[in-house]
Amino acid sequence: DAMVIQNPRYQVTQFGKPVTLSCSQTLNHNVMYWYQQKSSQAPKLLFHYYDKDFNNEADTPDNFQSRRPNTSFCFLDIRSPGLGDAAMYLCATSREGRGTDTQYFGPGTRLTVL
C-alpha cells in the first residue's frame, strides 16, 4: 500500500506559469519534507513542516513556497518556474524528525519547464 503519494507523477509547465505539486501520506507522520533532485545528483532539502511549523532551508529560493493544510497533505508551489527549476521533486515524511527517525520518500514528481 502506498504510504507517501505524489501527484502528478509528471508535470509540464511553461516558463513563468505557477505550478503546484501535491503530496499526501497515510503514515500519520508529523514531519513532511520537500526535496529537489536534479539529474545525477543527490536530493536537496528545500523545506520541511513539523506539524504546522514551517522551516525553510537558508538557500531555498523565494520562488518556492509550501502549504500544509492538514497532517496528511503538503503542497509545493513554484510561483514563477524557470528553466533551472526543471527537476524531480520528492516528498518525504518522518514520524518526529528526530535524528533517529527514518525518512520515507514518495515516488516523486518530474517537472518539465518549457
Binding site for other proteins (CB under 8 A): 4, 6, 31, 33, 40-43, 45, 48, 50, 55, 88, 90, 92, 94, 97-108, 110
How far is the C-alpha of 111 from the C-alpha of 114, rounded, in Å? 10
Contact 68, 49 (CB under 8 A): yes
Question: Phi and psi of 37, rounded to 5°?
Answer: -130, 120
Distance CA 70, CA 12 (A): 26
Minimum separation from the CB atom of position 39 to other proteins (A): 10
State the nearest-atom distance from the C-beta of 101 to other proteins, in Å. Answer: 8
Residue (81 or 97) nearer to other proteins, CB = 97
Nearest to other proteins of 15, 57 (CB atom): 57
Closest distance to other proteins from the beta carbon of 82 (Å): 22
Nearer to other proteins, 50 or 73 (CB): 50
Tell me which residue has cell 518525504. 92
Cell of 5: 503519494
In the numeric block, the cell 505524489 is attached to: 6
